[in-house]
Chain A
Amino acid sequence: MTPDAPVMLDVQDVRVYYGPRRQPVRAVDGVSFQLRQGEALGLVGESGCGKSTLGRALLRLEPLQSGRVLLAGEDLVLLRGARLKAFRGRAQMIFQDPYGSLNPRHSIGGMLREAVAAHARTTRAAREERVAELLRAVGLDPAYTRRYPHEFSGGQRQRLGLARALAVKPELIIADEPVSALDVSVQVQILNLLKDLQRQLHLALLFIAHDLAVVRYVCDRLLVMYLGQVVEAAPAPALFARPRHPYSEALLSAVPDVGKGLAARAGGGSPRLVLRGDPPAPTHRLPGCPFHPRCPRARERCRTEPPALREVAPGHCSACHFADAL
């Protein structure tokens, strides 16, 4: 990715609320970021932090409470009719469950032909050629067109999900936990495929996952979410080398890892930082920093004054009053 590549997705203060107006669930609570063409951006956080809701809202699969989402300069919220349909061709989603996201009654060929036809009117021969090309691109045999989803393994089904997303030649792909349902030995097949295609096709990729090591492998830059807000945003190597938010620090420390485990056995490594308690429900807004009840570094100021997301190093943003001390 080149740093001056055009901005593909510009997210401005997006909020997604559910439930009663007086005390809504603030699933996404004021998120802003930019995603450039050819960039792979990771969105990490624990369940309930709003990462999946945000991903869906960006594709207009969830209504926004407020905020703006610009795809290549065009405001998504204002799109209607034919222009909304055209937008669906530019942005696609890959889901966690490859079993649930393929229609069991459609053959692979039928499913892909439909997607290709939705994108462009072409001759039947050109369509068949495109379907074969898509299957080859995701590492499947083009002869599989007559088969049905149940005849494929989990990894193969995720390849099919990717082929279907690519059928409309999108510029943006949002992948929501695409490998967490797969066996370890198959995960890397899909990650490598996703990485290769993202680079070849110069796609903007928003990769939503809870597994930090997986995100690090795929993404250039990371956003860490907690309770509907971005608490840290940084290039992947910088964030892993020196997290500047106590929550990111705790997440990194909590992940079981082969390298860390072996280092600890050899008598090295740092002690594990274990957070107390569960994340609070996103129904009522806490005064001060949303992380303060669980933060091992919380001080008086954190209980009263909400920290803003600010740049603490070039390209490295943190929403912690004491980011400089971390």
Chain B
Amino acid sequence: MPAAHQLAVVENLQVHFFGGAHPVRAVDGVSFDIAEGETVALVGESGCGKSVTALALARLVPQPPGRYAGGRVLLAGRNVLEMSASELRTLRGREIAYIFQEPGSALNPVFTIGWQIREAIRLHRPEAGAQAEALAMLRLVGLPEPEKRLHAYPHELSGGQQQRVMIAMALACRPKLLVADEPTTALDVTIQAQILELLRNLQQQLGMALLLITHNLGLVAETAHRVFVMYAGRMVESGVTADVLAAPRHPYTRALLAAVPRLEGCEGRLKAIEGHVPNPADWPTGCKFHPRCAWARARCRVEEPAWELAEGRGTRCFFWQELLAQPNAATDH
């Protein structure tokens, strides 16, 4: 039984997709947890399974082609994967809500902003007061001229404003966990900073937990308490953000950090990771990172390392202790 302060616990989650010649193990035994009010980042590149993991938290992976092939997702102690349809309806919005990368495509173009926020409220509460509540939500997310915007259609707003509306809808029922899947990737840098500041303020104000799905390590460094790194459907590293970024234990985390250009500049060349992100339909044998790993040995090709968890730090590498002893463990810059 998880500790009381834990809001979400994912245990050995398996999400597979059927449809092609072979089943695709998009998420392959992922475990992590989120405490109340905490900001957790799930990091990885395209196809690593981070978004599917996020969707699984509210059982939103479409079935078919998806299938929950194993594991548990506990939200407030109850297994989401075994809930009835009506239980799920109560859960979504109240316990957990989502915002996505493209606010423009997540909003319905033929309804006004006000209508869409009222709808989110109406599904969980009586209709009375929904209009006032929608207006209050728009104020909360700092949309300029909120009374006027209630009657606006999504195309009349800028990308940053659309994302504010998405946040207003997501928070309308005061969820305990907000899942933000690449919430700022489609936005300009200065707008990105506005949205992140807003999320941070709202999180403190409302005391909700935030799961940030991203590929941007800079964003992780600046926002998350803890970070989970995924590669090829597997969790490969976890821990407190400052520890993981300062002394990564998995070669993938380490290589990724060394490959990110820094604002302060760097001496000489950045070290590229050779090869490319593997295709989910065709994961490599052994350790899934071995074809691109600079430290790979014979054992890594045939045997997959187990997930080792100690003192809040998790890693999936046979040789992490040796790796840690190597010079320039932090960044190789």
Contact B273 A188 (CB under 8 A): yes
A156→B276 CA distance, assembly (Å): 9
User: Which A residues are in CB contact (< 8 Å) with B255?
Assistant: 185
Contact of A262 among B144, B197, B245, B263 (CB under 8 A): B245
> In this assembly, does A210 line the interface, its C-beta being within 8 Å of a C-beta of chain B?
yes
CB distance from A8 to the nearest CB of B (A): 25
A155 vs B274: C-alpha distance in the bound complex, in angstroms?
11
With contact pairs A155-B276, A188-B271, A188-B272 given, residues A240 and B263 touching in the complex (Cβ less than 8 Å): yes
Q: Report which of A189, A213, A253, A275 forms a contact with B260, defined as CB distance below 8 A.
A: A213
Known: A185-B277, A213-B261, A256-B222. Contact between A192 and B197, CB under 8 A?
no
A130 at the interface (CB under 8 A from B): no
Interface string of A222-265 (1 = CB under 8 A from B): 00000000000000110010000000001111111111111011
Which chain A residues in 179-218 approach chain B with CB under 8 Å?
183-189, 191-192, 195, 210-214, 216-217
Give B236-272 interface residues, CB cut-off 8 Å to A: 241-242, 245-246, 255-257, 259-266, 269-272
- Which residues of the partner chain A approach B271 to less than 8 Å between Cβ atoms? 188
B194 contact set on A, CB distance < 8 A: 274-276
How long is the Cα–Cα vector from A253 to B222 in the complex, in angstroms? Answer: 12
Cβ contact within 8 Å between A183 and B46: yes
Which A residues touch B265, using CB under 8 A? 216-217, 236-237, 240
In the complex, are the beta carbons of B192 and A254 less than 8 A apart?
yes
The total of chain B residues at the interface (CB under 8 A) is: 48
Whether B218 sits at the interface, judged by CB under 8 Å, is: yes
Nearest Cβ on chain B to A214's Cβ, whole angstroms: 5
B219 an interface residue at 8 Å Cβ cutoff?
yes
Say yes or no for B217: interface residue by CB 8 A criterion: yes
A-B contact pairs, 9 of them (CB 8 A): A185-B259, A185-B272, A188-B272, A216-B263, A216-B265, A240-B264, A255-B218, A278-B158, A278-B160
Q: Hey, which bits of chain A sit against chain B, CB under 8 A?
A: 46-47, 153-156, 183-189, 191-192, 195, 210-214, 216-217, 236-237, 240, 250-262, 264-266, 272, 274-279
Top 4 nearest A-B pairs (CB, nearest first) are A261-B221, A256-B218, A254-B193, A46-B188
Q: A186-B276, A213-B262, A259-B262 are in contact. List 8 more A-B contacts (CB 8 A).
A: A185-B272, A188-B273, A195-B269, A256-B223, A258-B262, A259-B221, A264-B222, A278-B191
